[in-house]
Structure 1
Amino acid sequence: MKYFSFALLLLCLSISCKESPEEKKKLEKINSEESLQSDTIKQKSEPPKMVFKTFEGLADTTFVRLADFSDGFAYDLRYATENNFLKEKVYDCAECYTRVKTVKALLKANEEFKEKGVRIKFFDCYRPNSVQYKMWAIVPNPQYVANPKKGSIHNKGGAVDITLETLEGEELNMGTDFDFFGKRAYHDNFDLPQEILDNRKLLKETMEKHGFWSIRTEWWHYNLGAGSNDKVANFKWPCN
């Protein structure tokens, strides 16, 4: 009797392990649906891939939005906040616009910076001439603020105010904050810790290599040599 029960159990197990064609189709359908659901969840969790614009058909003097061409930069656009020497928000929204030729030079400079573990962070880019008048009213000193009647290279889309940060988002120590009006911000002030001097040197030498030149009184300010002869502009960019 004991042997008969054991044989019967084995027979039952054997029968249960054999799937009928209908059961096999049902199982395949379930597995297919589960796989499809898994792929859908995975697609939803992955951020959409950014598609950047190209320079095809654009003149070098055309104004463009930098973020449309790369996501490799960082931004702290001060004049879109009250954290600036004006103590006033003078940009409706934080955007970095500049001319195509300036963007091309910035992209090349940033690629070199990234090879060294840092990237460009922007404080200011193109600046409407109307904002230049506000700045001049507060600081009418051409050592720090260009006379708006003549216009700044910022107003021409050929200047940027920048610093460097690590690829993890930590700003390099440059010795002063942006828009610090004093000798500590001067390029020819070497009475500073070596770390600060090294950071400024990295910024200056790399930017100059890619067609930019600095001004003596501001470690953050860089003009594109090819942009100084463009016309002063006063347009305001759209805000989404």
Structure 2
Amino acid sequence: MNTTELKIITEETHGVKLSLAYATEDNFTGKLIYKNAICALHPDAEECLKKAVAHAKRAGYTLIIYDAFRPSKAQQRLWEFLPDSNYVTPPEKGSAHTRGVAIDLGLIDNRTGEVVDMGTGFDDMSELSHTDCADLPVDIIRNRAILLGIMLHAGFSEIKYEWWHYQLPRAFDYPMLDNDLIDVV
């Protein structure tokens, strides 16, 4: 697949905030993974993202994106750091991210301009980050439910272990993408 088949997501074109964690050291590895901060999705996922942006805006929120398309080489780096299939898909299987059909995100409250508290940070690999974790204050559960509602309504599906991760249904029907759009350290 060449880079023109992925849709580039920018703050200006999509009305989102980008905070691509793997283009910084502020992620669960503590290391830079991406040399360049580019956000991209498969066209099918981009269409759902557009719907999610509109749903979020009507509810008073902006989506903040932490990760989207992820090269296979980056998936390998994450697996080397945390070889736990509950949180990182084995590189040989490929993740929904390496197929361009997954997105990691949260919410910004448009009234305050602040990132909405979800109880844990992005990339918190613990039971507190599970979507159905009941051991959280009611306001955190509500915040996660708002994000869940926005994303499900837009056509995404959630996964059990990460409140921030959404992907297209049947994500693994899509092929893994061999793409050099994002340069990996």
2:125 alignment partner in structure 1: 181
Matched, 1:236 2:183: no
Residue 68 and residue 187 in structure 1: after superposition, are their counterparts in 2 closer, same or farther (change >3 A)? closer
Q: CA deviation at 1:208?
A: 1.1
TM-score when normalising by structure 1: 0.71
Amino acid aligned to 1:192? L
1:72–1:119 Cα contact (<8 Å) kept:
yes
1:164 alignment partner in structure 2: 107
SS at match of 1:123: strand
Q: Which has the higher helix share?
A: 1
2:99–2:176 Cα contact (<8 Å) kept:
yes
TM-score when normalising by structure 2: 0.91
2:14–2:50 Cα contact (<8 Å) kept:
no
Residue 205 and residue 90 in structure 1: after superposition, are their counterparts in 2 closer, same or farther (change >3 A)? same
Max radius of gyration: which structure? 1
Structure 1 residue runs without a partner (length 5+) = 1-60
Q: CA deviation at 1:228?
A: 2.9
Amino acid aligned to 1:87? G
1:125–1:160 Cα contact (<8 Å) kept:
yes
Whole-Å separation in 1 of the counterparts to 2:72 and 2:157 = 21
2:71–2:182 Cα contact (<8 Å) kept:
no
Residue 150 and residue 79 in structure 1: after superposition, are their counterparts in 2 closer, same or farther (change >3 A)? same
Structure 2 residue runs without a partner (length 5+) = none
1:65–1:95 Cα contact (<8 Å) kept:
yes
Between the aligned residues of both structures, percent identity stands at 33
Matched, 1:135 2:94: no
1:130–1:234 Cα contact (<8 Å) kept:
no
Amino acid aligned to 2:136? L
Matched, 1:225 2:166: no
Whole-Å separation in 1 of the counterparts to 2:65 and 2:164 = 9
Amino acid aligned to 2:120? T
CA RMSD, Structure 1 to Structure 2 (Å): 1.8
Aligned length: 179
